[in-house]
Amino acid sequence: MAVLHPRVAPRRSTTRATTWWGKAWVRAVEEAAFSESDLVTARTLARGGHVGQITTRPGGFFASVEDQHGLWTVDGAIPELDETGTETVVEAVAAEAGRIAALLGGDLPHDLVEHTDEAGVELLPFGSELAATCTCEAWAEPCVHALAVLQQLAWLIEADPMVLLQLRGLAREDLLGRLHARRESPVSDDERDLDAAVEAALYAARLLDDPLS
């Protein structure tokens, strides 16, 4: 399922990431860039509000970017997890009840990412995994427009790490559904806590869908 995010207003302050996972994403963007000058231009476009609404989907994203030469469309991709990788992430989230609460609260627990890394599943991308095409005529890929979208994606992921999971192919509803399915026979306090957290998340999701329920 695709998600259309609100357009990011112009920022006068720095575009630097503030969370550890945001900084990791920005490092990947810097690795993907052809030159420092491209990064400077991209940050200016991102900070200046020249990026339209970003749509994220499992395995990709797209958005429009406007500069002095015209309006361009960026279409990007990031590798999705396979079924084994997805189950590894679900198991890592379920391993500690506090992890789902943290994710829903806008935090990406460092030990969760370490857990998946140790199992051979990388959640945060490398620069070589960030692919993007653009309707502009620049020969470098990613171009400055794509880099601007990737910069704003860092802000979206900082605010809601579930965006990162969705890009990797594990949408919020899918994660909650898989966790819900694991509730059939809770045997420990941690699992009971997880059960309560999932129930609360599902209830909140139902309220968002139907505020009068």
Model confidence pLDDT, tens digit, residues 127-159? 999 999 999 999 989 999 999 999 999 999 999
Peptide bond into 142 cis (omega under 30): yes
Residue 206: predicted pLDDT: 42
Bridge-partner residues for 74, per DSSP? 63, 134
Query: Do the Cβ atoms of 55 and 69 come closer than 8 Å?
Result: no
Residue 9: predicted pLDDT: 82
Summarize pLDDT for 81-106 with one digit per residue, the tens: 999 999 999 999 999 889 999 999 99
Residue 182: predicted pLDDT: 81
* 125 burial level (CB within 10 Å; 0-12, 13-18, 19+): buried
CA distance 126 to 169: 16
Instruction: Provide the 8-state DSSP code for 51.
Output: B
Residue 1: predicted pLDDT: 85
Residue 186: predicted pLDDT: 53
This prediction's pTM? 0.84
Where does the chain have alpha helices with state H? 20-32, 36-47, 83-95, 97-104, 110-118, 144-159, 162-167, 172-181, 189-209
Token pair in block for residue 168: 């990797």
Residue 73: predicted pLDDT: 98
Residue 111: predicted pLDDT: 95
Bridge-partner residues for 70, per DSSP? 67
12 and 116 in a single domain? The answer is: no
Residue 19: predicted pLDDT: 96
112 and 90 in a single domain? The answer is: yes
**Residues in the chain with pLDDT values less than 50:** 187, 202-213
184 and 204 in a single domain? The answer is: yes
213 inside domain: no
87 and 61 in a single domain? The answer is: no
162 and 179 in a single domain? The answer is: no
Structural domain span for residue 16: 1-79+125-168
8 inside domain: yes
92 and 21 in a single domain? The answer is: no
Total number of domains constituting the chain = 2
CA distance 159 to 130: 20
